[in-house]
Amino acid sequence: ILNVEQSPQSLHVQEGDSTNFTCSFPSSNFYALHWYRWETAKSPEALFVMTLNGDEKKKGRISATLNTKEGYSYLYIKGSQPEDSATYLCASGTALIFGKGTTLSVSS
């Protein structure tokens, strides 16, 4: 079972701040790296699935990059809004193994 780690565990920012989180994963036998957004009392929803080294994906103010050779991915949120408050999960492996998540709180 592979080890997926995320940092920081939690983060509190002010509205309008930009922020980023890190996901690290084993670089050997890499298949794909997933990012999910998980709001309280809801189910996780996919943000990105990334498969290629150097890949960069964007959805609105949220973007992600992937480095498969060194085994890390960054998730960026530009101009954070209160509605961005959620836990952000990354996962890797053919049977997806999740990190423990980064919980983001955005104050207005």
Partner 1 sequence: NAGVTQTPKFQVLKTGQSMTLQCAQDMNHEYMSWYRQDPGMGLRLIHYSVGAGITDQGEVPNGYNVSRSTTEDFPLRLLSAAPSQTSVYFCASSLQASGAYEQYFGPGTRLTVT
Cα 34 from Cα 46, distance rounded (Å): 7
Distance of CA 87 to the CA centre of its chain: 9
β-strands 33-38, 10-14 pairing: unpaired
Interacting residue with partner 1 among 32, 55, 67, 74 (CB under 8 A): 32
Interacting residue with partner 1 among 15, 39, 45, 56 (CB under 8 A): 45
- Number of chain residues interacting with partner 1 (CB under 8 A): 23
The contact pattern for partner 1, residues 52-81, with x = CB under 8 A and - = no contact, is ------------------------------
Q: What is the 3-state secondary structure (H, E, C) of 21-73?
A: EEEECCCCCCCCEEEEEECCCCCCEEEEEECCCCCEEEECCEEEEEECCCCEE
Binding piece for partner 1, criterion CB under 8 A, among 14-22, 38-46, 53-61, 69-77 = 38-46
Q: Applying CB under 8 A, which residues contact partner 1? A: 1, 31-32, 34, 36, 43-46, 49, 51, 89, 91-101
